[in-house]
Structure 1
Amino acid sequence: MLISLIQTVTVPVADQEGALEFYGGVLGFETRTDNPFPMGRWLTVAPEGAETTLLLASWFPEMAPVGGLVVAAPDLDPLAARLRENGVACDGPSDQPWGRQLLFHDPYGNGFVAVQA
């Protein structure tokens, strides 16, 4: 095996502090790193216990939003309620042939598919 892990996925954001409020405050991700970086902060977040982190990068203004980041949740109804309470538009939860899903975007246009695990 040449590659054994996807360590970090870069997610473009316009405002790192605002992104941290969304990913930490709304989604409940924990901050893994928050270090000075020549172009901003090296700011990574992840769900508790996850190996793969998201790098919330503000230094790529030309980078298009990421689409189709898939996350898993034990129950999509509380997640949908939390998102809506925080003004995030969601589609679902809905039952699909492959299982239950919820679609939403972060404040910067990055798209998520939450599946019930």
Structure 2
Amino acid sequence: MRSIELISIPVTDQQVAKEFYLKLGFKIIVEAPYQGGANWIQMGLPEGNTNITLVNWFPEFTPGSIQGFVIKCEDIEASIAALSAEGVEVATPSKTPWGRFATVKDPDGNAWSLHGE
């Protein structure tokens, strides 16, 4: 095994979630019809190896249940400023011995931690 390739993010509305993740800096890798009227929306960060897919077809996946995934930022203050300019709400960063972290939530409440210096 080499890496985590894809993480499913449970969402209510795929298109609303897609717009949020585009603002967060993700790019669309694949968007195509899938099953039951859903779409396969696979996204990734420009320099990352792990992708996400926005899912709404797994009944056991509760939208908003994802917590604690960390996104590395070169400059957390610049990232927060850019996201705020896009209308994305970012929590005030907290300082820890291993860096600074700021939480951002998608429209369903899935929480991501921005990490940087």
Taking structure 1 as the reference length, what is the TM-score of the superposition? 0.86
Q: Which runs of structure 1 show a deviation greater than 3 angstroms over 4 or more consecutive aligned residues?
A: 82-89
State how 1:1-117 maps to structure 2 within 5 Å: 3-24=1-22, 26-39=23-36, 40-64=38-62, 65-116=65-116
Q: Secondary structure at the match of 2:91?
A: strand
Quick one: distance in 2 between partners of 1:84 and 1:50? 22
Q: Would you say how many aligned residue pairs link Structure 1 and Structure 2?
A: 114
Unpaired stretches in structure 1, ≥5 consecutive residues: none
User: Once the 2 structures are TM-superposed, how far is the Cα of residue 82 of structure 1 from its aligned partner?
Assistant: 3.4
Task: Report the aligned-residue RMSD.
Answer: 1.7
Which is richer in strand?
Answer: 1
Seq. identity, %: 32
| Equivalent position amino acid for 1:51 in 2 | N
Taking structure 2 as the reference length, what is the TM-score of the superposition? 0.86
Q: Deviations over 1:39-85 (max 9, x none)?
A: 31111111103111001112235413211111111111122233334
Quick one: distance in 2 between partners of 1:61 and 1:75? 37
**Are the aligned partners of 1:71 and 1:112 in contact in 2 as well (CA < 8 Å)?**
yes
**Are the aligned partners of 1:103 and 1:114 in contact in 2 as well (CA < 8 Å)?**
yes
Quick one: distance in 2 between partners of 1:57 and 1:66? 12
Q: Deviations over 1:74-108 (max 9, x none)?
A: 11112223333444433222221111111121111
